[in-house]
Amino acid sequence: MTPFDYARAGEVAEALRHGTAPGAAYLGGGTNLVDLMREGIARPDRLIDVTGLSTTIEERADGGLLIGAGVRNTALAEHPAVRQRYPMLARAILAGASAQIRNMATVGGNLLQRTRCFYFYDVDGARCNKREPGSGCDAQDGFNRIHAVLGASDACVATHPSDMCVALAALDATVHVAGPQGSRSLPFTDLHRLPGDRPDQDTVLAAGELITAVELAPLSFGANATYRKMRDRASYAFALISVAAAVEMDGDRIADLRIAFGGVAHKPWRATKAEAALRGGPATQQAFLDAAAAEFADARPLRDNAFKPALAGRALAAVLGALTTGDVA
């Protein structure tokens, strides 16, 4: 591990003063960054500890929530308002990691975790444009069962690993950011980038910017929602496919809905095509499968992951079938 300086910020302004220095990185729970440092992938010269900042969950008068970036994942999943109004978020967090990791990991850190691509972590033996721009992508012709089928490029086919982020994409969350140029807010779905020719740039955050909070607007049908994850083993594996969905019914027709997929792209994938296909229509298994087919019409499967579009369709049909019939466990 490369030697580094350490500073603990007592307030956001102090964090920003340190965080604008060349080679600085913000440290939350450390459940991803410290691993990257041990592997020699991340080599910050200075760590700015922000775990004492933005640690509260504020209930808004309109029923929404303002979630501090320093809130631990466990605290978020256990919060009564999250469990009652946004159950897909609680389920996504609980599907994501062990209790020990959830107790350490922060909301802001979860948003910024990097891919779990095998080749990204193989520092000595594999080419990876995300780790070393311009070196190549061994995943393209390698073992790519877990990799992207949507939004990928010739430079990178890695997937975003977060479960929480899939739920936040479905919930139309807003991300609040502080930086050297002031504060700003952006839609959650705009935070993460598709790889293009710069897969080393995971997000649109500028140098020194710090996520301070995530805001959830009230969603009238947010309680009729769930998160389901398909993986190779039941214990703490990353998603091959995951689905976050919420549905509002009007008789036997779908009045409104939210859908996002995980495990399919370089960022959490908001399924706007599937939503448009289903909104106002019948709640039938065939309609669900057709909507998934529309969403994955532009999929570019690799040798080992051609099963993903069909699996996503079956997963979506199962989730929406349960939500539209009131049969969510």
Q: Could you state, in order of their start, the residue ranges of all structural domains in the chain?
A: 5-51, 225-325
Segment 238-267 shows an average pLDDT of 97
State percent of the chain over pLDDT 70: 99
Q: What average pLDDT does the structure give for the chain?
A: 96
Q: What is the mean pLDDT of residues 5-22?
A: 95
| Residue 251, both tokens | 């008789």
Beta bridge partners of 214: 67, 175
Residue 221: alpha-carbon gap to chain centroid: 22
CA torsion sign for 159, 267, 270, 225 is positive
Amino acid 43: pLDDT = 95
How many Å is the Cα radius of gyration of the chain?
Answer: 19
- Kindly indicate the confidence band of residue 233, based on its pLDDT and cuts at 50, 70 and 90: confident
Say whether pLDDT at 77 is over 90: yes
For 165-222, the pLDDT digits (tens) are 999 999 999 999 999 999 999 999 999 999 999 999 999 999 999 999 999 999 999 9
Give the tens place of pLDDT for each residue, 128-147.
999 999 999 999 999 999 99
CB 56 within 8 Å of CB 68: yes
CA 60 to chain centroid: 24
More confident residue, 234 or 249: 249
Residue 329: pLDDT band (50, 70, 90) is low
Region 5-51: CATH code = 3.30.43.10
Q: Which fold has domain 225-325?
A: Enolase-like; domain 1 (3.30.390)
Checking 317-321 for CB contacts under 8 A at 24+ apart, the result is: 317/285, 317/288, 317/289, 317/292, 318/228, 319/226, 319/228, 319/243, 319/245, 320/245, 320/247, 320/257, 320/278, 320/283, 320/288, 321/283, 321/285, 321/288
Q: What angle do the packed helices 308-325 and 285-295 form, to 10 degrees? A: 140
Question: Residue 134: what are its φ and ψ, rounded to 5°?
Answer: 90, -5
> If you ran DSSP here, which 8-state letter would residue 72 be given?
B
3-class DSSP assignment, residue 325 = helix
Question: Which residues, including other chains, have CB under 8 Å from residue 300's CB and lie 6 or more apart?
Answer: 149, 150, 152
